[in-house]
Amino acid sequence: MIMRFTDKVVVVSGGAAGIGRAVSELVAAEGASVVVADRDEALARETAAALPSLGAPRAVPVRVDVAVEEDIRALAEVCRAEFGRVDALINNAAARLWGPVTEATLESWHQIIAANLISVGLTGKHLIPLMPDGGSIVNVSSANGIVGRKGMAQYDATKAGVLGLTRSMACDHAEAGIRVNAVLPGPTLTDFHKNRAQAEGREIDLAVTRPHPGGPGILRRQGLPIEIAKPIVFLASDDASYMTGTLLSPDGGLSAVSGHIG
Ligand SMILES: NC(=O)c1ccc[n+]([C@@H]2O[C@H](COP(=O)([O-])OP(=O)(O)OC[C@H]3O[C@@H](n4cnc5c(N)ncnc54)[C@H](O)[C@@H]3O)[C@@H](O)[C@H]2O)c1
């Protein structure tokens, strides 16, 4: 096992479930102390409790709503008090909203922009001061930040905004030795989707992560959380030391083709 995160502190927003949990587990296995920053306090505690057995020297759960600046300020205080530093910040937490703009309200716009875009700026504001030379920020956007689709206009707009923010933050903080990159996942099957299907009385077809006719992208399937977490962890690590302001697309080729390939 390569240990790229020995003596490092990694903060993962939305780190208690889905892609974020897979990131928490991967960096733990490579020696990181992990701050699991999640709105779901019980799940954050449960995830953090599992990380030492994987290899994390320490794992600290923190209840944070990334849309709330007071919560992010408090998160920075915990990081300062517990570790005195943050080596990598994974901005992974996000809200979802469905429907076209004709169904959006001013309130829904403000809420999703706060949760998905302003949050990235706010974690940067409060955590970059704790990052040493060599620090790394990974912003989780979406394939639909660069490719259009029907049904999630507000969400997709925030994910496009994250890309602009990523590039400009990369410019602003390069002199301090901090790299800033984005990962653009394609459709990825997480517990969220399984729980949503269950709540709606639908059966979720787990075979969507295997190639199937009409499946998304070139690979004609959805991704697994671990398949998104690995590129995130790569960008967070020193293996990506010459990469900043860039976009990495673990999306099964979704953004490389137009429409379904069969
Ligand atoms: N799963 C996909 O198909 C997919 C595709 C493209 C992009 N993404 C992006 O990947 C990231 C992770 O998605 P996922 O599918 O693993 O999500 P998920 O719903 O499975 O997990 C998200 C985690 O974030 C937490 N969270 C949600 N809102 C929060 C907030 N305001 N503050 C703090 N924590 C909050 C939740 O409690 C949960 O633990 C998101 O940025 C999402 O937009 C996901």
For residue 195, the CA-to-ligand 1 centroid distance in Å is 13
Q: Which atom of ligand 1 is nearest to the CA of 40?
A: 37
* CB 39 less than 6 A from any atom of ligand 1: yes
pLDDT of residue 193: 85
* CB 41 less than 6 A from any atom of ligand 1: no
pLDDT of residue 262: 61
pLDDT digit string (tens) for 131-146? Answer: 999 999 999 999 999 9
Q: pLDDT > 90: what percent of the chain?
A: 91
pTM of the prediction?
Answer: 0.97
Instruction: Quote the CA–CA distance of 17 and 92 in Å, as a whole number.
Output: 10
For residue 140, the CA-to-ligand 1 centroid distance in Å is 9
Sheet with 59-63: strands ordered across: 59-63, 33-38, 9-13, 88-91, 136-140, 179-183, 247-248
Residues 71/121/136/58 CA torsion (nearest 10 deg)? 10
For residue 214, the CA-to-ligand 1 centroid distance in Å is 25
* CB 14 less than 6 A from any atom of ligand 1: yes
Q: What is the mean pLDDT of residues 22-42?
A: 98
* CB 75 less than 6 A from any atom of ligand 1: no
Q: Per the structure block, which two tokens stand in for 59?
A: 């794992």
Burial class for 213, CB neighbours closer than 10 Å (0-12, 13-18, 19+): exposed
Instruction: Quote the CA–CA distance of 50 and 247 in Å, as a whole number.
Output: 31
Q: Which atom of ligand 1 is nearest to the CA of 20?
A: 16
Q: Which domains, ranges and CATH numbers included, belong to the chain?
A: 9-187+225-249 (3.40.50.720), 189-222 (no CATH)
Residue in 155, 187, 223, 248 annotated catalytic: 155
pLDDT digit string (tens) for 156-195? Answer: 999 999 999 999 999 999 999 999 999 999 999 998 888 8
Residues forming a β-bridge with 12: 36, 90
Three-class SS state of 156: helix
Residues 34/40/41/46 CA torsion (nearest 10 deg)? -60
- Name the one residue in this structure whose structure tokens are 């949050």: 119
Q: Give the residue, by CA position, lying nearest to ligand 1 atom 17.
A: 18
Q: Which atom of ligand 1 is nearest to the CA of 185?
A: 6
Alpha-carbon separation of residue 231 from 184, 241, 249 (angstroms): 10, 14, 9
pLDDT digit string (tens) for 96-129? Answer: 999 999 999 999 999 999 999 999 999 999 999 9
For residue 262, the CA-to-ligand 1 centroid distance in Å is 29
Instruction: Quote the CA–CA distance of 14 and 207 in Å, as a whole number.
Output: 26
Q: Per the structure block, which two tokens stand in for 97?
A: 């909203």
**Cβ contact 30:51 at 8 Å:** no
- Could you give the residue ranges of the DSSP H alpha helices within the chain? 18-29, 41-50, 69-82, 106-113, 119-127, 153-173, 191-199, 225-236
* CB 43 less than 6 A from any atom of ligand 1: yes
For ligand 1, pick from 38, 71, 204 the residue to mutate: most ligand atoms within 8 Å of CB: 38
Q: Is the pLDDT of residue 217 over 80?
A: yes
Residues 36/38/42/43 CA torsion (nearest 10 deg)? -70
pLDDT of residue 260: 66
Instruction: Quote the CA–CA distance of 122 and 40 in Å, as a whole number.
Output: 19
Is 155 one of the annotated active-site residues of the chain? Answer: yes
